[in-house]
Amino acid sequence: MPEPTKKDETETESAPPPPEQKTPQEGETGKGKVWSIGEGAPEETEKHDDSQRSTLFIEKPQSGSVSVGGNITFIAKVEAKDLLRKPNVKWFKGKWMDLASKAGKHLQLKESFERHSKIHTFEMHIIQAKENYAGNYRCEVSYKDKFDSCSFDLEVTESSQAAPSIDIRSAFKRSGDGQDDAGELDFSGLLKRREIKQQEEEPEVDVWELLKNANPSEYEKIAFQYGITDLRGMLKRLKRMRREVKKSAAFAKGLDPAYQVDKGGKVRFMVELADPTVELKWYKNGQEIRPSAKYIFEHKGNQRILFINNCTMTDDARYYVTAGDEKCSTELFVRDPPILVTKGLEDTNTYVGERVELSCEVSEDDANVKWFKNGVELTNEPKSRYRIKVEGKKHTLIIEEAAKNDSATYSVMTTGGQSEAKLSVDLRPLKISLALEDQTVRLGQEIHLKCEISENVEGKWYKNGQLIEASDRVKLYHKGRIHRFVIASAAVDDEGEYMFVPDAYNINIPCKVHVVDPPKLHLDGLGEGNTVTVVAGSKLRLEIPITGEPTPKVMWSKGDKWITDSGRIRAETYPDSSCLVIDAAEREDSGPFRIMLKNEAGEDTALINIKVVDVPDPPQAPNVTEVGEDWCTMTWEPPANDGGSPILGYFIERKKKQSSRWMRLNFELCKETTFEPKKMIEGVAYEVRVFAVNAIGISKPSMPSKSFVPLAVTSPPTLLAVDSVTDTSVTMKWRPPDHIGAAGLDGYVVEYCFEGTDEWIVANPELTDKTKFTINGLPTGSKILVRVKAVNAAGESEPRYHPQPILVKEVVEPPKIRLPRHLKQTYTRRVGETVNLVIPFQGRPRAKVSWQKNGSPIDKNQINIRNTENDTIIFIRKAERSHSGEYNMKVEVENLEDKATIDIQIVDRPGPPEVVTIEDVWGENVNLSWKPPKDDGNAAITGYTIQKADKKSMEWFTVMEHYHRTCATINELVIGNEYYFRIFAENMCGLSEDATMTKESALIAKDGKVYKYPVYDDFDFSERPLFTQPLVNTFAVAGYNATLNCSVRGNPKPKITWLKNKVVIMNDPKYRMFSNQGVCTLEIRKPSPYDGGTYTCQAVNELGEAEVDCKLEVKVTQ
């Protein structure tokens, strides 16, 4: 096959067939299945069962025949209805040669897909076939787990009668080294007639002997070493040769492996039997052959001969003969006789566009003839510009309208010969019948260029030297000798130099096209009425697109004044636009501006209104019309000038009068001219101001309003109740309001109305600042409703109503003394203290209170008594013991009374005990006794305090305290000393001022023994630090000082160091450290949660160190 050049674009990789499926091999039934001498017997041919495969082919490639130099196409079709993607297809020659790597000049693989029928078509084209292309081919198709395969054969017939000699080694080697056909596999050496078999030359190296004697594992190595590519064919022949060495019991001489005969000829098959009595049968493709005029059987001794007369292509088949259980097979190849060219082609000269006919004659009618142009086959397809006509033995190639590229060498080829001739196509002299004309067209009109030449040839159009291609906008027409160029709607870019150049002629037809366009202003981007709005102070750059060809002249004016290209207001002109520029626009710039365009095609003009807008003027100062507790109501007038743009709303700001900081009150525009600021502080003076807002921006602020103070009335008074009622008056009492506010409280208004009426009468024309008021002049027996209002600068509060009507009639209330709980027991006070007792009582009307002490009237010079309508007070400024006693209180209302008794005890310190006597002295002990004091201070004696004093120093030391008995033993006195003793009496007020001392002293005498003082060594007080009281975990309240305490001992005195979270506390004013008598204190001033953590106290001296720690948690009060 041809040497690979490049892979065909449609080529696809195929997955290898499943292992259990056998690949189709040569030897299947059909024409031309075996092309090598020594093919194996039919019974040894590899078998396969197509029914076991998943059938994918709907059309399989069929075997075919082609002459040397001819073309042939094999087609396989696969239905894609049940396939999700394209199947994989591979083409093989023989068993293993993948033809995808051989695609090139002589082999092309193509594929296509027809969407309507959903069929994949795969084609293999063999171009300019050679003899070595003949053989068995295979097409495999696979899709996922499906696989299908089909074998077919190609027969290549020789174009000449000469047959080269057979060289086995050259038949299997690659041929044409270094030439165009290098790399092709030459299988044709085995395609020879049986008569030439006897002329085979043995190769210099006997490959057959090598393969016979070699191990099967070395077959591939031998094939590679000697360039053998069809190893499978070699092995089959080797197998047959080995079988032929083994003598057959039935056949003394068998059939040759292959026979070849020309079509119409006669072939002779002959076998020689070992036993002539054995019945012999002949078969063709498995069908038994019966004697006839075509098939003649002949017996000569042990020879059995079969003649096949007048061989046709149907006789090309596999034959075998059976003798008993044995059989012998062969292949018969029938070849068509060569077709000769009896009259060859003739060289021809013609002009472009002329009809050309190339004719030849062959030896047979309707023979298969192939036409070639420069070696490339020409097909008689409907779309081809070449038409092949066959009339018996005459074959004609027709070209209707010859073109320049038809000049070539044309050849005709048959199986028995070929002929060639040269065709020369020249151009006719060209004449211009109608030249192009220069045109001037308006923009948007049609451009139509037309020319006529003497010849019907194609041509190209150019604009300014650039090739013009046909498009939706540009139409190119060619009919006969007339060429037209049409643009339906001319554009400015279409202006230029055009020319038409006929193909193959060195000539051009030029013309000019000039496109003109009247000037036009494009004002689509402007607003209604061609109005342009600009903000005062900003720069206006108004760009107006213009069109016109040639470019028009632009003029701007305002009123009678033309606008130049310089100044604050100026005009700038560009090829496709004009621009009006106003720097720092002013309100005076408002008005109509005129723009005028003019060129040779006409003119255009328009008025453009410029509107200069600005922020509005500030509104007038707002007025505060109403004030509440934390709100007010304000109004204002719109600004006199809205800046040329409607007012969209207002922003309101306020500030405290004494502050300079304004605060905005609304973030969404206020559409009205009233607003109610809220959340102000009562009693604080405020000012408000307003901003106006339009589409341009925010105005300056208005002048501030007059200052105002938000004030609120108080809440209603509370606990309104009836204090007393007489026949002509009602006394009411109440409590102040819960909420008074910054305006304070000026007083109260008491109002009443008679039951059944709605007329409220003011009882006090002037405000009263007291919470009690008597309504006088009321008729006895009437019922009234009462209410009270609190009044301040903001006005009157909501009234507080008495829930029930009040009857104006005095009511007798029995007396009732409400004695406080602490007076129900003895009331004790010390001498000199103040006694102030308040005893409330009830009773109406005119309760009478009287007091007695121990049954006698009270001396008002010593004790003050003050009575009111609801209580009585007994007051003693400086109590004395004489004020002690039983006080009797009596309350009388008419004939009713109530009594109560109060026991008052005035106490003082007791006097000293009476005589103190030393009862006995023994050893180191003294026994004392005494008598209680005569004056106990009007309170029980609670104990005694005993003191001693050495006679020498007379310094007193307390021996016993709070001693309850009147005798005591004093122990552990110093022998040899002489002591005095004194005793103090004690009651609830304290110790007596004086003490009673013993008149005599007590001597602790010695017993006559000499006391020997013991000798002691100096005590070592050195000690390493030891904490006797550790730190304890502590909770502290944020903002209140906290202290941490511990105690430590040690000698020498240890150095104390405090740490927080293992970090030494140094020079921090938040902490104070104390150390006194071994007590260590750390004070944390106003701790915060940050001060929480682990605190450590560390004590260090020269003997060692010790430390204690605790955790401090600081809590924040809610």
pLDDT at 943: 94
Using the predicted structure, report yes or no on whether residue 196 has a pLDDT greater than 60. no
Q: For residues 1024 and 1050, is the Cβ–Cβ distance under 8 A?
A: yes
- Calculate Rg over the CA atoms of the chain: 71
Question: Who contacts 977 (Cβ-Cβ below 8 Å, separation ≥6)?
Answer: 950, 951, 952, 1003, 1004
Distance between CA atoms of residues 178 and 182, nearest Å: 6
pLDDT in tens, 1040-1082: 999 999 999 999 999 999 999 999 998 888 999 999 989 999 9
Q: For residues 236 and 219, is the Cβ–Cβ distance under 8 A?
A: no
Distance between CA atoms of residues 21 and 52, nearest Å: 9
Average pLDDT (382-389) is 84
Instruction: Identify residue 796 by its one-letter amino acid code.
Output: E
- Residues 998, 1001, 1002, 1003: what is their CA dihedral angle, to the nearest 10 degrees? 170
Distance between CA atoms of residues 356 and 781, nearest Å: 151
Res. 851 pLDDT band, cuts 50 70 90:
very high
Average pLDDT (709-715) is 85
Using the predicted structure, report yes or no on whether residue 22 has a pLDDT greater than 60. no
pLDDT at 176: 38
Query: Cβ atoms within 10 A of the Cβ of 28, count?
Result: 18
pLDDT in tens, 570-613: 998 888 888 999 888 887 888 899 999 888 778 889 888 888 88
Query: Cβ atoms within 10 A of the Cβ of 671, count?
Result: 9
pLDDT at 75: 93
pLDDT at 46: 38
pLDDT at 404: 82
Res. 135 pLDDT band, cuts 50 70 90:
confident
pLDDT at 928: 93
pLDDT in tens, 991-1012: 999 999 999 999 988 765 555 6
Lowest mean pLDDT of 214-223, 505-514, 957-966, name the range.
214-223
pLDDT at 179: 38
Percent of the chain at pLDDT exceeding 90? 37
Cα distances (Å, whole numbers) of residue 601 to 267, 515, 551, 850, 1041: 98, 11, 10, 133, 101
Distance between CA atoms of residues 190 and 234, nearest Å: 11
Q: For residues 1072 and 1097, is the Cβ–Cβ distance under 8 A?
A: no
Cα distances (Å, whole numbers) of residue 299 to 305, 306, 331, 786: 6, 9, 22, 163
pLDDT in tens, 798-841: 899 999 998 888 777 888 999 998 888 989 999 999 999 999 99
Distance between CA atoms of residues 405 and 398, nearest Å: 15
Per DSSP, the chain holds a count of helices (H) and strands (E) of 4, 88
Lowest mean pLDDT of 205-214, 279-288, 547-556, 645-654, name the range.
205-214
Distance between CA atoms of residues 162 and 772, nearest Å: 156
Average pLDDT (86-113) is 84
**Block residue for tokens 């171009």:** 127
Query: Cβ atoms within 10 A of the Cβ of 1085, count?
Result: 13
| CA max distance for the chain | 192
Distance between CA atoms of residues 927 and 918, nearest Å: 6
Burial string for 311-348 (b: 16+ CB within 10 Å, else e) reads: beeebbbbbbbbbeeebbbbbbbbbbebbebeeebeeb
487 membership: H or E segment, kind and range: strand 482-487
pLDDT at 131: 83
pLDDT at 230: 52
Mean pLDDT, the chain, rounded, equals 83
Q: For residues 430 and 464, is the Cβ–Cβ distance under 8 A?
A: no
Would you call 287 exposed, middle or buried from its count of C-beta atoms within 10 A (0-12, 13-18, 19+)?
A: exposed
- Please provide the DSSP assignment of 100-123 as one string: GGG-SSSEEEEEEEETTTTEEEEE
Average pLDDT (183-212) is 43
Percent of the chain at pLDDT exceeding 70? 87
pLDDT at 643: 83
pLDDT at 314: 85
pLDDT in tens, 40-60: 333 333 333 443 344 788 899
| Neighbouring-strand partners of residue 701 | none
Average pLDDT (178-206) is 39
Cα distances (Å, whole numbers) of residue 794 to 251, 628, 765: 147, 8, 19
Using the predicted structure, report yes or no on whether residue 476 has a pLDDT greater than 60. yes
Q: For residues 223 and 216, is the Cβ–Cβ distance under 8 A?
A: no
Using the predicted structure, report yes or no on whether residue 769 has a pLDDT greater than 50. yes
pLDDT in tens, 967-992: 999 998 998 899 999 999 999 899 99
Distance between CA atoms of residues 532 and 539, nearest Å: 13
Q: For residues 750 and 773, is the Cβ–Cβ distance under 8 A?
A: yes
pLDDT at 561: 87
pLDDT at 916: 93
Res. 245 pLDDT band, cuts 50 70 90:
very low
Average pLDDT (225-253) is 59
* Model confidence, pTM: 0.30
Nearest to 356 by CA among 386, 383, 333: 386
pLDDT in tens, 160-177: 443 343 343 333 333 333
Using the predicted structure, report yes or no on whether residue 234 has a pLDDT greater than 90. no
Q: For residues 423 and 406, is the Cβ–Cβ distance under 8 A?
A: yes
